[in-house]
């Protein structure tokens, strides 16, 4: 029984190869970037929650996309910031948890983007039955599944690595992922491969469904000026978000697949973290400016705050 238990209790993350001065600059820039991510997503979430007119399926899905971004980034940024000012080590349990959070957040993003594509498909291609299809109960169930399935898929993937005997503790990356832990296994478990392939096929199906939905949407919108206007106002932000997110995830997969080729470590780090850097901050910008109702609500909130501050100063 003891042969199947790993003696490794700590992992070393070796992706950070910077001078102390560079680490200080990177720490400040990363902290600023993280604050911008937090501010942008929280502002969008609060705007949607506060305005009852935004309690519609499209905005509910958007709110969950922002929550997923916050959930995923909290699994990376705090630990990365700590690594910049301390040793680059992480406990076995911490490594498993970080990999679970980042993976499940990525899968949840795909699930929510699929729901958003389905919502726009019904709204534009079948507008007469939209309200009967996208009921509050059905939307609640879809949102629940968009969280339950990714968490369950990643829990199954992570659980297959528990108790695996490891032959190393060196991870050539700036954060933990299950695939890197699997590479350290003396004998990779067959169950992990089976679960990993199932998860990849499951979410590749999400991607195919999204592509089919937008292909059908584009074909439908070409025949009507009104539909083209709807597409530009509501579907274009979703499509841009999908392209940015998918590109970022593919870069990370390419890094894990071809990471041993002699490119610079900085390039590897960028490819591994782009989906944690770009989409979480770009999505609030895209939706905040492109979706009219969201933009008006955010501007109204800041206008009220600004007006309230002026009134207080005058009273004083």
Q: CATH no. for residue 35?
A: 1.20.1070.10
The tokens for 286 are 């895209």
Per-residue pLDDT, 313: 41
* Structural domain count of the chain: 1
Q: How confident is the model at residue 4 (pLDDT cuts 50, 70, 90)?
A: very low
- Three-class SS state of 13: strand
| 89-91 and 170-171 beta bridge pairing | unpaired
State how far Cα 31 lies from the chain centre: 18
Within-domain flag for 302: yes
The region that residue 188 occupies, defined by phi over 0 for left and psi between -120 and 50 for alpha, beta otherwise, is beta
pLDDT one-digit tens code per residue, 176-200: 888 888 888 887 778 888 888 898 8
Q: What are phi and psi of 176, to 5 degrees?
A: -90, 140
The tokens for 263 are 């490119």
pTM: 0.84
Per-residue pLDDT, 295: 61
Contact yes or no for 182/6 (Cβ under 8 A) = no
pLDDT one-digit tens code per residue, 245-256: 888 787 777 767
Q: Which of 179, 33, 165 is nearest to 95 (CA)?
A: 179
pLDDT one-digit tens code per residue, 133-151: 999 999 999 999 999 999 9
Within-domain flag for 265: no
The tokens for 160 are 């297959």
pLDDT one-digit tens code per residue, 85-144: 887 888 888 888 999 999 999 999 989 989 988 998 888 888 889 989 999 999 999 999
Within-domain flag for 262: no
Residue with tokens 């100063």: 313
Within-domain flag for 16: yes
Within-domain flag for 217: yes
Within-domain flag for 270: no
Over 70: is that where the pLDDT of 312 sits?
A: no
Domain span at residue 191 reads: 8-249+275-315
Please give the Cα distance from 196 to 202 (Å, whole number).
10
Within-domain flag for 151: yes
Contact yes or no for 67/104 (Cβ under 8 A) = no
Within-domain flag for 268: no
Contact yes or no for 108/146 (Cβ under 8 A) = yes
């Amino acid at each position: 029984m003891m042969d199947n238990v790993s003696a490794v209790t700590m992992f070393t993350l070796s992706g950070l190869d910077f001078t102390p001065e560079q680490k200080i600059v990177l720490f400040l820039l990363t902290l600023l970037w993280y604050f911008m991510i937090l501010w942008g997503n929280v502002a969008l979430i609060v705007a949607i929650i506060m305005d009852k007119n935004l309690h519609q399926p499209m905005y509910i899905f958007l709110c969950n996309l922002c929550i997923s971004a916050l959930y995923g980034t909290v699994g990376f940024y705090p630990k990365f910031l700590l690594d910049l000012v301390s040793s680059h080590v992480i406990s076995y349990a911490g490594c498993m948890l970080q990999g679970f959070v980042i993976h499940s957040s990525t899968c949840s993003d795909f699930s929510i983007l699929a729901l958003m594509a389905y919502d726009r498909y019904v709204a534009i291609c079948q507008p007469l039955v939209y309200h009967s299809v996208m009921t509050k109960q059905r939307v609640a169930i879809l949102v629940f599944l968009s969280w339950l399935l990714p968490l369950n898929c990643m829990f199954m993937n992570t659980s297959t690595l528990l108790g695996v005997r490891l032959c190393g503790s060196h991870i050539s990356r700036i954060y933990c992922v299950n695939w890197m832990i699997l590479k350290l296994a003396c004998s990779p478990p067959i169950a992990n491969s089976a679960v990993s392939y199932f998860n990849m096929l499951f979410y590749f199906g999400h991607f195919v469904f999204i592509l089919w939905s937008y292909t059908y949407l584009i074909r439908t919108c070409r025949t009507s000026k009104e539909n083209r206007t709807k597409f530009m106002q509501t579907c274009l932000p979703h499509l841009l978000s999908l392209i940015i997110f998918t590109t970022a995830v593919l870069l990370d997969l390419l890094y894990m697949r071809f990471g041993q080729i002699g490119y610079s470590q900085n390039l590897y780090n960028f490819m591994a973290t782009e989906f944690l850097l770009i989409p979480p901050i770009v999505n609030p910008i895209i939706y905040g400016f492109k979706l009219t109702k969201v933009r008006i609500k955010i501007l109204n909130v800041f206008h009220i705050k600004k007006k309230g501050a002026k009134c207080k100063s005058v009273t004083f």
